[in-house]
Chains A and B, each alone.
Chain A
């Protein structure tokens, strides 16, 4: 994206820092998710134990934030790739807009999946 239109205030530093923070959060969350789904699949893959687990608000918050943090980290990474190309401003802004809409839509869709339980 041509930064001359945004001025030096938008250096991308907050996005860089958030990418590190959300990445570290995702490592912890992913280890938990993998233990549940692959190390103890009898618990992770059973409807009864999943329903019981999801009655605990902490598990619900865990999966809701997993959805948001995962989508943010992914799309922020894609945005980092897009920024490496020298694009016309209208094109990069269109991509950014599409990514934000896609991200919000899929976060809501993911929330609906979690809140089924």
Chain B
């Protein structure tokens, strides 16, 4: 079937997707997003090159911004992308090098399960410091 002549929207919307194709799509989306992020990260950190004399000032300005509650939530969502791309990357390596093609569906379900657990655990790690600090301020 010629993809371009038969209405590609119909092909995209009616094509039956299985675990492997979802893994592939999510891996691409997260990969492109993370590539965009690494460039953004380098641009954001280039603020460290300001304040030639007082390096600590530039550093602290930067860290105050990235430690704000809004950025912590954004970083948590960023971790979801990193996490999925990491776990599915391990799955891809197993498929390519460890005969994982025989059990790639089970690996996909393992990726999703481990991913959700690790995402929640990272939420605790990221926000526990913030919560502890806020509570400490209240009871000071």
Contact = CB atoms under 8 A, between A and B. Distances in A.
Interface of A: 20, 23-24, 27, 30, 34, 38-39, 41-42, 45, 47-48, 50-51, 67, 70-71, 74-75, 77-78, 81, 102, 106, 109-110, 112-113, 116-117
B69 interface: no
For the complex, would chain A's binding face be called helix, strand, loop or mixed by DSSP majority? helix
Contacts of A23: 89, 93
B33 to A, nearest CB: 10
Contacts of B82: 30
B125 interface: yes
B49 A38 contact: no
B139 interface: no
Contacts of A39: 125
Interface in B34-48: 34-35, 38-39, 42-43, 45-46, 48
B114 interface: no
B34 A74 contact: yes
Interface of B: 28, 31-32, 34-35, 38-39, 42-43, 45-46, 48-49, 55-56, 59-60, 63, 66-67, 75, 79, 82, 86, 89-90, 92-93, 96-97, 122, 125-126, 129
Given A41-B67, A47-B56, A75-B35, A113 B89 contact: no
A77 B49 CA distance: 29
A81 B89 contact: no
A20 B28 contact: no
For the complex, would chain B's binding face be called helix, strand, loop or mixed by DSSP majority? helix
Contacts of A24: 93
A27 B89 contact: yes
B63 A116 contact: no
A77 B35 contact: yes
B55 A116 contact: yes
Contacts of A109: 42-43, 46
B15 to A, nearest CB: 16
A9 B6 CA distance: 35
A69 to B, nearest CB: 10
Given A20-B96, A113-B49, A77 B31 contact: yes
B20 to A, nearest CB: 16
A94 B10 CA distance: 31
A70 B125 contact: no
Contact of B39 (A34, A106, A112, A116): A106
